[in-house]
Structure 1
Amino acid sequence: MCRVRAGVLLVVLGITACSPAPPEPAAEPTTESVADFLARTLPEGPGGTVIAARGDQILYCEGFGMADREERIPASCDTAYDIMSITKQFTAAAILRLEAMGELRVTDPISTYLGPVPDDKRDITVHHLLTHTAGLVEGLGDDYDVMSRDAMLTQALSSELRSRPGEEFHYSNVGYSMLAAIVETASGIGYERFLERHLFAPAGMTSTGYVLPEWDRGQVAVEYDAQGRSQGRPYDHPWAEDGPHWNLRGNGGMVSTARDMFRWHRALTGGTVLPESARAELFAPHAPIPELGESYAYGWVVRDTEDGRIAWHDGGNGWSLANYAMAPDDGAMAFWVSNHAHRDDAWNLEDLEPDLTLGILDRARTQ
């Protein structure tokens, strides 16, 4: 399997050896509708949701297949899914929101917020965590291992660095969990509570979070493995009372809907949650990704094209798969998510991911 665990960069980012090259923008504008493109692109079998939008206008938002096969609940625009590593952009935005509030600076060493750190990690800054250049390991165990914040920090700070801080790009879920801990220290409130108060509520997002939304169980998609067996809903796995344990918190596991992801897009591009200077920082190409020829921004991967900058991030956990892409300059966005990423000897959405993502985004930009 291409991914190592939930929260790594998947095929679109080209980090793993078995991944195809990243997609190229369409050479010419297309007149094909999103619906027609999906009808000829998506295989029969998986369930999921697709949304395409430009500016304040939703161009397409529909479900496909089943969100819950046992209960015969079809997927819709309002089905909630685990969006996995797309969570990282919320964590990054929370850090920049705190910077705008004067509560921290991305140039601060992590010891400012996490206390004394070992000598080899004294030079790690908040910026290094945001850009995966701290040199930290990718993970500390399974997503659903029981782990407290203090235990996560202890293990992260005692782990051996893969490279010196600031020298190399090494994708690290641990780094984003550490950022979630910094959000809590700098704000004085819980990670999810800060996101809800300062990002989600201003954006009008009512169906995004870990435990704060009042989930109707039928709204949340069931995930399925390669044999088609149910793996339950995200919160059916071991979680703490206030959300996932700290191997996952901050780097993944957030639950959201396509409609809320559109609201998030509108809030980002409209300046509702971040001032212009912070938005520029969020999408700036901070750290080159040598394997790809693109750059990591803050919670996004970015690429400059003749038609402007494209920002994206994907996520996967072995069962589900998602991708969120946007063109910050012209306000187009595409988000798709499936609760069944692949089926043995039948289909694999990882193989379709680059073309599917850019195909939806191209149509959002030209229609």
Structure 2
Amino acid sequence: MASGRARAVARYLDANWPTGASGAIATARDGEPVGCQGRGKANVETGADAGCDTVFDIGSITKSFTAAAILKLETTGALRVTDPIGTILRAVPADKRGITVHHLLTHTSGLPEGLGDDYEPVRRDAMIARALAAPLDAVPGRTYAYSNVGYSLLAAIIEKVSGTGYGDYLTRNLFTPAGMTRTGYRLADPCRDDIAVEYDSDGRSQGTPLDHPWAADGPFWNLRGNGGLLSTARDMLRWYRALEGESVLPAAAKAKMFTPHVSEGVPTQFYGYGWTIVTTPSGPIVTHNGGNDWSYARVAIRPADHVMVFWVGNQAVRDGMWNLEDLDHTFTLGLLTLLASHP
């Protein structure tokens, strides 16, 4: 039988989830799930319902996993976040020798936001060469400016330091210890059948992420490390539970990840390592969103209250009806508040 808190969450979703929108929503408190459910269709053409185990593209929430992998490597002594990138990547030009791993993690490297289309077939070493040749937008360490390029370089650093592919490293060191069975760039065949189809603002199918150009082991390198990970609402509950404990990262590494290292230019908003930290009267919220032209996702944790929300939709905008990004703040904060306050 559902708890009173779970019933309250269900009522909230009935009242606030956009009519006709499809996706999945997971909520938790004190490390335990409160609810996990789908809404609408994962595939309109086949009639498949969205559910807790439907696989979605979680977009830039990928960055939180990239940051966790870097911190995992630091706990083993394989690198330090204070290391200049030249100690790992080699042949770094003079204007970028001051860039450190910390700068990449906090979007203060001065590197541009992007270098091309997500699905352009760019391999790792070509991406590195492009990034190191790109003009800087700012002096390293001086200015916060969101950079997908920086997180792709972090994925390359993970590979070079660990001697393991980025996706394999995450699976072995993050996903498997957390019990996440449907998260990654490469998924087993049964999981591939459960990937949600994405839809544009007119409701036209854009296929699944795997219907776009990908390399054999995941997306090409304009996207790898900064976006494109596939996951489920149930797996994101497992990730939250792992972060509540120390099965993946020790307390000191998690504290470093959730430290508000740099202002995002908004008085209450800071960037940690792969997470935005928002200061509120009820305590900080650690969060990240993700999206492409069709899907949109949000994960948010309020550590003081030990509550978590994850939700994702496979149609971010429906012309004349809804825009999930516009609804995000009110919807997410309402759920966090309900979880924290309901007995």
Question: Normalising TM by the smaller chain, what interval?
Answer: over 0.9
* Alignment-derived partner of residue 329 in structure 2: 354
TM-score of the superposed pair, with normalisation by structure 2: 0.96
| Structure-2 separation of matches of 1:327 and 1:287 | 19
* Contact 1:31–1:363, Cα closer than 8 Å, also in 2: no
Distance 1:123 1:77, change over 3 A: same
| Contact 1:73–1:218 (8 Å) recurs in 2 | no
Alignment match of 2:290 (pick from 315, 323, 330): 315
Among 142, 147, 172, which residue is 1:172 paired with? 147
In structure 2, what is the Cα distance between the partners aligned to 1:156 and 1:189?
21
Match of 1:135 in 2: 110
- Residue by residue, what CA displacement relative to the aligned partner does 1:250-306 show, whole Å, maximum 9, x if unpaired? 000000000100100111111111111101000000011114531000000002333
1:286 to 2:269 alignment: no
TM-superposed CA distance for 1:143, in Å, is 0.7
- The structure 1 residue matched to 2:213, chosen from 238, 242, 247, is 238
Q: Which residue in the other structure is 1:17 paired with?
A: none
User: Is this contact kept in 1: 2:64–2:274, CA < 8 A?
Assistant: yes
1:277 equivalent to 2:277? Answer no
The structural deviation recorded for 1:223 is: 0.2
2:96 alignment counterpart = 121
Q: Determine the structure 2 residue equivalent to 1:148.
A: 123
> Structure 2 CA distance, aligned partners of 1:243 and 1:215?
17
Contact 2:55 2:191 in 1 (8 A): no
Of 297, 300, 308, the match for 1:333: 308
The SS at the match of 1:116 is coil
Distance 1:64 1:31, change over 3 A: closer
Corresponding residue number in structure 2 for 1:302: 277
Higher mean Cα deviation, 225-234 or 124-133?
225-234
Q: Specify which of 99, 109, 112 is matched with residue 87 of structure 2.
A: 112
2:31–2:244 Cα contact (<8 Å) kept: no
Q: Mapping of 1:1-367 within 5 angstroms? A: 33-291=8-266, 293-367=268-342
Q: Is 1:32–1:363's contact at 8 Å kept on the other side of the alignment?
A: no
CA contact (8 A) 1:324 1:336 kept: yes
Matched residue SS, 1:363 = helix
Deviates more, 1:300-309 or 1:44-53: 300-309
* Higher mean C-alpha deviation, range 46-55 or range 98-107: 46-55
TM-score of the superposed pair, with normalisation by structure 1:
0.90
Corresponding position of 1:9: none
Contact 2:171/2:184, CA 8 A, preserved across alignment: yes
| Cα shift at 1:177 | 0.3
Task: Name structure 2 gaps, 5 residues minimum.
Answer: none
CA distance in 2, matches of 1:96, 1:217: 29
Aligned identity (percent) is: 55
The one-character-per-residue Cα deviations of 1:146-203 (angstroms, maximum 9, x if unpaired) are 1000111111111111110000000000000000000001101000101011111110
Equivalent residues of 1:206, 1:213 under 8 A apart: no
Q: CA deviation at 1:245?
A: 0.2
CA contact (8 A) 2:6 2:34 kept: no
**Cα contact 1:118–1:157 (8 A) shared by 2:** yes
* Divergent runs of 4+, >6 A: none
1:212 deviates by 4.3
